[in-house]
């Protein structure tokens, strides 16, 4: 029985389930040219790497993240950013805009499997984790994105390094309030803190 459970977990781990749903057909939206112009039409994107555009007269174009500034589809905004890990640009979804912006990336092509001890799986457990998938911090005026750690201890250190000027956030971080699941809350609270500082100047 344990062997069956282990095999089932392995199948799920290697099945490459995608957490970010992508449209499978053309959907109304718009993209931004490198010059900042807005072009409206039907869009389709794949694997955070390519964007297809269909004009009202049916003509199609294919763009890489280096060809456009970004695009918006289904109410979700994406921007092209240089990704050091690939030494090229990729599309990132903008989750929170503000003094600190929160972006997310889904890596569909680089998978890592981690093994660990687990009593529920007969002593061995594992899970598949896309190497560069996750959330990224973009600081004002910076062209680089900082990957946000997924492990609690490393996340706490990350917060200490980059959010240290907000005493309320630092106290919550010490109490273990923040995790990857509450990363949106962290960014919104910090941006509100920065907005108040600007208003009080």
Each residue's pLDDT expressed in tens, for the chain with a length of 201 residues = 444 444 444 444 444 434 445 556 899 999 999 999 999 999 998 878 899 999 888 899 999 999 999 999 999 999 999 988 888 999 999 999 999 999 999 876 655 444 444 433 344 444 444 468 899 999 999 988 999 998 989 999 999 999 999 999 999 999 989 998 999 999 999 999 999 999 987
Question: How is residue 44 written in tokens?
Answer: 């389709």
List, in order, residues 6 or more apart from 130 with CB less than 8 Å away: 106, 107, 108, 110, 111, 112
Is residue 95 within 8 A of residue 103, CB to CB? The reply is yes
- As a whole number of Å, the CA-based R_g of the chain is 20
Scan for tokens 């919550």, then name that residue: 172
Whole-prediction pTM? 0.76
Question: How is residue 14 written in tokens?
Answer: 């290697």
């Amino acid at each position: 029985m344990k062997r069956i459970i282990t095999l089932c977990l392995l199948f799920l781990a290697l099945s490459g389930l995608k957490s970010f749903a992508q449209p499978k057909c053309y959907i109304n939206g718009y993209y931004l040219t490198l010059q900042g112009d807005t072009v409206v039409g039907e869009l389709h994107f794949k694997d955070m790497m390519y964007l297809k555009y269909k004009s009202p007269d049916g003509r199609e174009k294919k763009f890489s993240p280096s060809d456009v500034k970004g695009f918006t589809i289904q109410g979700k905004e994406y921007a092209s950013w240089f990704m050091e890990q690939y030494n090229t640009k990729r599309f990132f979804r903008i989750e929170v805009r503000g003094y600190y912006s929160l972006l997310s990336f889904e890596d569909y092509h680089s998978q890592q499997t981690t093994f660990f001890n687990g009593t529920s799986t007969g002593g061995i457990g594992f899970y598949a984790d896309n190497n560069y998938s996750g959330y990224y911090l973009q600081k004002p005026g910076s062209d680089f994105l900082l990957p946000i750690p997924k492990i609690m201890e490393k996340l706490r250190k990350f917060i200490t390094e980059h959010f240290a000027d907000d005493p309320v956030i630092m106290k919550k971080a010490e109490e273990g309030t923040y995790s990857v699941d509450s990363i949106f809350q962290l960014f919104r609270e910090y941006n509100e803190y920065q907005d108040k500082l600007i208003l009080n100047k």
